[in-house]
Amino acid sequence: MSTVALIVAAGAGVRMGAAVPKALMPLAGRPMLAWSLDALRASPRISLIVVVAPPGLEREVEEVAGAGAVVVPGGASRSASVREGLRAAPGDAEVVLVHDAARPLVSTALVDAVLDAIRGVDGAIAASPAADTLKWAGEGLVIGGTVAREGLWAAQTPQAFQAAALRAAVAAAEEAGTLDAATDCSSMVEAWGGRVRLVASGAPNLKVTTPADAALAEALLRAG
């Protein structure tokens, strides 16, 4: 089964306050993007890696990605960047796996577990069950209610999809004018009518959004 991996690395990382986009920011001695590339390249099931870069920084990303990876400029939003990555994927690809460069702790085992889980459904995503008590925030941040956490999961990446389903879902979102509002690929496939399975991520798979996240990720990478 031909599987293409898209690494979304086009974010500016404004909250990080770094001098370079987040994917190129040093983390445990290497650009953050390099950690995700290692995990994907270690899976024999990935036939091609497409990296979606910050527009104008394709050459810098190519230097990190190395030979064999395709680098394309991203779009105005995360989902638009996924669309650009899909356009660079071969038309005969059967499966597309999407991963955020901002999750550098991803393991090859998790990549393979997500790919295993798409059998019989349109997609599968890494996720973790909600552990905290969830609250609705009302006006002035006064609590408006408590949400039962039973059955709630926090979506992560990697997310794998039957290629035809993801292409159709992206096209449908673009036609409906909702593409830029989608925060992950699964939500677009769900809106399209697809069935997506959850895969427990197990080990830490945090998203680096703030300097504190980066410090924690760096400590975990150095310890691992």
DSSP 12: -
pLDDT for the residue 188: 98
At 61, is the secondary structure helix, strand, or coil?
A: helix
Q: What is the pLDDT averaged over residues 133-160? A: 95
pLDDT for the residue 18: 62
**Are 97 and 5 a contacting pair, CB within 8 Å?**
yes
Q: What is the pLDDT averaged over residues 172-188? A: 97
pLDDT for the residue 102: 96
pLDDT range class, residue 24, cuts 50, 70, 90? very high
What's the N-to-C CA distance of the chain in angstroms?
Answer: 31
φ/ψ of 215, rounded to 5, equals -65, -40
Sign (positive or negative) of CA dihedral 48, 54, 56, 61: negative
Provide the CATH number for the domain formed by 3-128+155-223 in this structure: 3.90.550.10
- Given 3-state DSSP classes, what are the helix, strand and coil percentages for the chain, each rounded to the nearest 5? 40, 25, 35
Distance of CA 106 to the CA centre of its chain: 10
Q: What is the pLDDT averaged over residues 131-136? A: 93
Lowest mean pLDDT among 19-23, 131-135, 219-223: 19-23
**Predicted confidence (pLDDT) per residue in 87-116, tens digit:** 999 999 999 999 999 999 999 999 999 999
Provide the mean pLDDT of the chain: 94
Question: Where are the chain's structural domains?
Answer: 3-128+155-223
DSSP 94: S
Q: What is the pLDDT averaged over residues 5-9? A: 97
User: Which of residues 142 and 12 earns the better pLDDT score?
Assistant: 142
Distance CA 166, CA 185 (A): 8
pLDDT for the residue 21: 85
pLDDT at position 45 over 80 = yes
At 96, is the secondary structure helix, strand, or coil?
A: strand
DSSP 133: P
At 172, is the secondary structure helix, strand, or coil?
A: helix
- pTM for the complete prediction? 0.94
**Predicted confidence (pLDDT) per residue in 53-81, tens digit:** 999 999 999 999 998 999 999 999 999 99
At 25, is the secondary structure helix, strand, or coil?
A: coil
pLDDT at position 195 over 70 = yes
